[in-house]
Structure 1
Amino acid sequence: MGLLQEILPFIIAYWPLVLFSAVTAYLLSNKYNKGLNKYPGHWLAAYTDWWRFFDALGRKTEYTHIRLHRKYGDIVRLGPNVLSFADPRAIKIIYGLNKGMTKSDFYPVQQAVSNGQRLPSLFSTTDEDYHAKYRRCVNSAFAMSSLVSYEPLVDSTTNFFLERTQQLFADTGRSCNFNQWLQFFAFDVIGELTWSKRLGFVEKNEDVDGIVGFLGRFLSYAGPIGQFPLLDLLLEKNPLRLQLQKWGISQTVFPVTAFAQSRSQERSAEMAKIASDGLTAQDPNRGIDLLTKFTQAQHAHPSFMTSKQVLTSCVSMVFAGSETTAISLSTVFYYLLKHPRCYAKLMAELDGAVRDGVIVDRANGAVSWAESQKLPYLDAVVQESFRIHPAAGLILERVVPKQGIDILGERIPGGTIVGCNAWVLHRRPEVFGEDVDVFRPERWLEASPERVKEMRATMFQFGAGARTCIGKNISLLEIYKLVPSFLRRFEIQLEDPAKEWETHNAWFVRQLNFNTKFRARRVNMSV
């Protein structure tokens, strides 16, 4: 107490000097934190996470990371405690099984909230044990073998989408905000897959309940705030705010959560029976939706898979299942339109496949999953689209275990946040060729089997390891069905061929101002 009485007058008298000294000491401790000062990067990144926060606010972080790695090499410092790795060999170390790596605090920022409680999903939880138990409960619902049961559900929305495109745009000559129209499609597919019910986006050609708008705003919040997660505890996840919700004083609920609750409530009696008695025989021509499968998991694992987990799983489908698929679909169509040679080559493959009986010549131009898997140039176009514009535009952060780990010959101290950015990995010249900034699907067909294997191992659009995107197969089902079906049914033109689209990195790099016009093809006559 006496010492404090002696120091306090000095602090009061010289507070500017004391404040300056404290800030200087803090910044220097950040710069030399764990010896990470030996790794290059933007000079401000060594001192404060505010640098990466403001870079994320600029919405072009993917290009920042590409520039930094091209300038400084395979390891770049993005923050006082953050390292980004560009060498594909780092993928297995950072994201591999049994490496002891955990997700960083970036991910809980993206947790939805209901009644004052966080809803930790497979994607957003940082608890690896919780994740493993959760994944075991729902893994079968997302297995490749389940695609057969989902295809009728995807067909229903795809066929309706083709008809609405004809009515709203092809028949009228109206311009289409194609990136938004594809997002409406992706939302309705998720509705059909999750609840066996389209949500009305395509039918009404509007943002139902403002969900698309909310999701865009939420991701725009999560991207920058995730660079400085403490801010989330002061804003959206403020403990006082959550407690008021638990007490019922504040009724704030995430719109996506309310949306999922409303859809699920419509079938609450049916789901209560499945949770109690298990799943009975279903119509094989209809397909089993995800709500049913999640509830069946609740029946099979009642001690873990609670009603809260079922709701969380449905919310996750809306959060992640629509945005990433819509981004990938927009990328495929945009780059085809920007590269007429590729567009013509793919159309020749589709028409030839119909002529040769590989694709059934259906009246509406629809293509099945099995048929799409026999089209090598389509596959090359999709893979090249994933490569040139992956959905995620930030590093997928992991925390090094306390004992530290060796990455690319460097001993990385425990507690350091490390990760890779797909935009950087997908532009490795030694893997993909010197023309990595060019959209060229032929690279996937010209490469040797060994090189193709290396290219596919470097692809990071769905993540890697145990935390690979669980909805990957569903997204692939949508993309490989809609792209050829839409191209067979319609000719697509850019409204302004000279105009480039805009991109907005809100954690997922979505596209803006992708405006097109459609003209119906005479499907049966095209061959």
Structure 2
Amino acid sequence: MVVVAPSNLLLVGKKVIFNHPVLLVVGLLVLSLIYNRLRPGLRSIPGPPVAAYSKLWRLHDVWKGHAHMTAINIHNKYGPVVRIGPNHVSIADPSMIPIIYGTKENFTKTGFYPIQSISWKKRPELNLFSTRDPEYHRIEKRKVGAAYSLPNLLQSEAAIDSCVELFMDRLHEFASKKEPVDLGAWLQYFAFDVVGEVTFASKLGFLEQGKDVDGMMKAIEGMLTYAALCGQVPEMHDVLLGNPLFTKLMPAMETWNQVLVFTLKAINGRASIKRDGELINADVEGRDMLSRWAYVKSNDPLKMNTRDIVVHLSTNVFAGSDTTAITLRAIIYFLCRNPDCMNRLVAEIDEGDKQGKLSHPVSHKEATSVFPYLGAVVKEAMRIHPSVGFLMERHVPVEGLEVQGYRIPAGTIVGINPWVTNRLPAFGSEPESFNPDRWLTASEDQLKEMDSIWELNFGAGSRKCIGRNISWIEIHKVIPELLRQYRVELTYPEKEWKITNHWFVQQEGLICNLTKR
């Protein structure tokens, strides 16, 4: 018998491993997976067992398109703090909202966000949403923030009224023929044209043509899908669309990216660009954002340049319709599914009309002051079906984070998903049910708590959605006018609509019958 010393065995093992690269790679992969699972500070946090080893669990979950439901289910199973990746923790504690999303911005955005940006003249250009740098965000917000204030946006109310009127006229074509209408699609056409009026002082043609103009809706859906999937493994963006070689080999994005092409076409339609691509001076400040910003540029080019204008206008086009359309669809769908709620809201609108309190179309001021039940319906629909369906990711700062007895170390990615927090016991009994009354009958303290959680639908802190007032105006004008003029019913009440979550939780199948009232 030949006896081999342990040291010799170790030497042989090293030779085998280093002479076989595949074994080396497998060994390193195994060690990496083990380290992920046992990562200091996170190993004791509960969650789906596979999730702690690799980002692939989360990537697969997002690919399936129902990550919002997974989030609800795992928090119901594991509690308010759940580990969903090697370095990812999902939190369902509303007391953490002002901490994680505070105005100090010490919890900075993660690599998920820069993926959702454009390039201009072959250079990456971050916008207010995609930038991770708090100082850059503050600088850019100072340039454009005033244009998104409620008083300034209401200067475009007459133009928004024209969108409402055109929308009602187009729906009349279906009602008069007694044909079902894909109301979900038409609500997005409406939202796009409102964005056009607010941004460019011109409708974008969606309502007039009754279709997805230039394939914009489809293009944005594709961009969101890419961002949703790549955002789970953001380092992959550097070898895909974020690859520097991609920028060098491909034509400039302004020649092929639908959002950017569409934005530039809208600008050119206003004759506001010179041949060399520079905006001409504007002598008078208009109501729309293009006019406002061109006016600023003409008076002080250091405050606003062409790059700033193109980036911020294209952001409006990209993000200005989807989230609003999602909310509008949710309001109509839940009202149709709950006839008592629908009847109560229609009665409230009819009473306001009977008392002569309403304009034609309904004004924003009237809708927000005359219709308390409408306000409750809007909040309840947004509570049950928020537009955003992922964690709003942030990096834990150097001091770490204490939550629910866990000490989460610096560098960990944490966040809160509104689909989870919007169903907490703070909202009363049966949080899964559509019950607008909960907003009218809650005590003052409970209502304050509900509002503080619900506000996360728009984000929080200094990163709260800058365009939320545009959405708010649209919703409160078009819903009462729609129900004032038409009885709306689901064409196929036996069918559920289809929901797909690729960052925004989109719906399909809101097919309705309209009857003129």
TM-score, scaled relative to structure 2: 0.93
AA of the residue aligned to 2:466: I
1:359 matched residue in structure 2:
358
2:310 matched residue in structure 1:
311
CA drift of 1:265 comes to 1.9
Query: Which of 208, 221, 227 in structure 1 is aligned with 2:213?
Result: 208
Q: Where in structure 2 are the equivalents of 1:63-462 lying within 5 Å? A: 63-167=69-173, 169-245=174-250, 253-269=256-272, 280=284, 282=286, 288-299=287-298, 302-303=301-302, 305-360=304-359, 362=360, 366-374=361-369, 375-429=371-425, 431-459=426-454, 460-462=456-458
SS at 2:342 equivalent:
helix
SS at 2:245 equivalent:
helix
Deviates more, 1:135-144 or 1:259-268: 259-268
AA of the residue aligned to 1:420: I
Gaps of 5+ in 2: 1-11
1:26 matched residue in structure 2:
32
Distance in 1 (CA, whole Å) between partners of 2:204 and 2:146 is: 25
2:9 matched residue in structure 1:
none
- Cα distance per residue 1:87-135 (max 9 Å; x no partner): 1111000001115111101011111233422221101111111100000
1:285 matched residue in structure 2:
none
Contact kept, 8 Å, 1:134 with 1:305, in 2: the verdict is no
SS at 1:359 equivalent:
coil
AA of the residue aligned to 1:165: L
Distance in 1 (CA, whole Å) between partners of 2:146 and 2:431 is: 36
AA of the residue aligned to 2:220: L
Alignment of 1:60 with 2:66, yes or no, is yes
AA of the residue aligned to 2:284: T
SS at 2:429 equivalent:
coil
Alignment of 1:10 with 2:16, yes or no, is yes
Q: 1:384 to 1:250 in 2, by over 3 A?
A: closer
Q: 1:32 to 1:303 in 2, by over 3 A?
A: farther
CA drift of 1:409 comes to 5.0
Distance in 2 (CA, whole Å) between partners of 1:70 and 1:322 is: 32
* Identity rate, percent: 38
Contact kept, 8 Å, 1:166 with 1:520, in 2: the verdict is yes
Q: 1:249 to 1:135 in 2, by over 3 A?
A: closer
Contact kept, 8 Å, 2:89 with 2:415, in 1: the verdict is yes
1:519 matched residue in structure 2:
515
CA RMSD of the aligned region, Å? 2.2
Gaps of 5+ in 1: 1-5, 283-287, 522-527
Q: 1:251 to 1:470 in 2, by over 3 A?
A: closer
Q: 1:515 to 1:40 in 2, by over 3 A?
A: same
CA drift of 1:146 comes to 1.7
SS at 1:62 equivalent:
helix
CA drift of 1:253 comes to 3.0
CA drift of 1:74 comes to 0.8
Distance in 2 (CA, whole Å) between partners of 1:83 and 1:295 is: 43
CA drift of 1:165 comes to 1.1
Distance in 1 (CA, whole Å) between partners of 2:274 and 2:433 is: 49
CA drift of 1:10 comes to 3.4
Distance in 2 (CA, whole Å) between partners of 1:507 and 1:155 is: 30
Q: 1:7 to 1:292 in 2, by over 3 A?
A: farther
Distance in 1 (CA, whole Å) between partners of 2:312 and 2:229 is: 25
Distance in 1 (CA, whole Å) between partners of 2:493 and 2:394 is: 41
CA drift of 1:501 comes to 0.5
Contact kept, 8 Å, 1:244 with 1:250, in 2: the verdict is no
SS at 1:36 equivalent:
coil
AA of the residue aligned to 2:430: D
SS at 2:41 equivalent:
helix
CA drift of 1:405 comes to 3.3
Distance in 1 (CA, whole Å) between partners of 2:40 and 2:122 is: 37
CA drift of 1:19 comes to 3.1
SS at 2:262 equivalent:
helix
SS at 1:492 equivalent:
strand
Deviates more, 1:130-139 or 1:303-312: 303-312
Contact kept, 8 Å, 2:98 with 2:461, in 1: the verdict is yes
Contact kept, 8 Å, 1:384 with 1:439, in 2: the verdict is yes
SS at 2:202 equivalent:
coil
Query: Which of 50, 56, 59 in structure 2 is aligned with 1:44?
Result: 50
CA drift of 1:34 comes to 3.2
CA drift of 1:310 comes to 0.6
1:525 matched residue in structure 2:
none
Contact kept, 8 Å, 1:113 with 1:257, in 2: the verdict is no
CA drift of 1:206 comes to 1.1
2:4 matched residue in structure 1:
none
CA drift of 1:48 comes to 0.7
Distance in 1 (CA, whole Å) between partners of 2:408 and 2:300 is: 39
AA of the residue aligned to 1:310: I
Distance in 2 (CA, whole Å) between partners of 1:410 and 1:443 is: 33
SS at 2:445 equivalent:
helix
Distance in 1 (CA, whole Å) between partners of 2:420 and 2:271 is: 45
1:494 matched residue in structure 2:
490
CA drift of 1:306 comes to 2.1
CA drift of 1:224 comes to 1.6
AA of the residue aligned to 2:334: Y
CA drift of 1:290 comes to 1.4
Distance in 1 (CA, whole Å) between partners of 2:408 and 2:311 is: 35
CA drift of 1:325 comes to 0.3
Distance in 1 (CA, whole Å) between partners of 2:364 and 2:274 is: 29
Contact kept, 8 Å, 2:108 with 2:395, in 1: the verdict is yes
Contact kept, 8 Å, 1:31 with 1:47, in 2: the verdict is yes
Distance in 1 (CA, whole Å) between partners of 2:74 and 2:263 is: 41
2:470 matched residue in structure 1:
474
Task: Count the aligned residue pairs.
Answer: 503
AA of the residue aligned to 1:312: V
Distance in 1 (CA, whole Å) between partners of 2:415 and 2:327 is: 22
CA drift of 1:148 comes to 2.2
Contact kept, 8 Å, 2:119 with 2:253, in 1: the verdict is no
Distance in 1 (CA, whole Å) between partners of 2:457 and 2:407 is: 27
SS at 2:434 equivalent:
coil
CA drift of 1:270 comes to 7.8
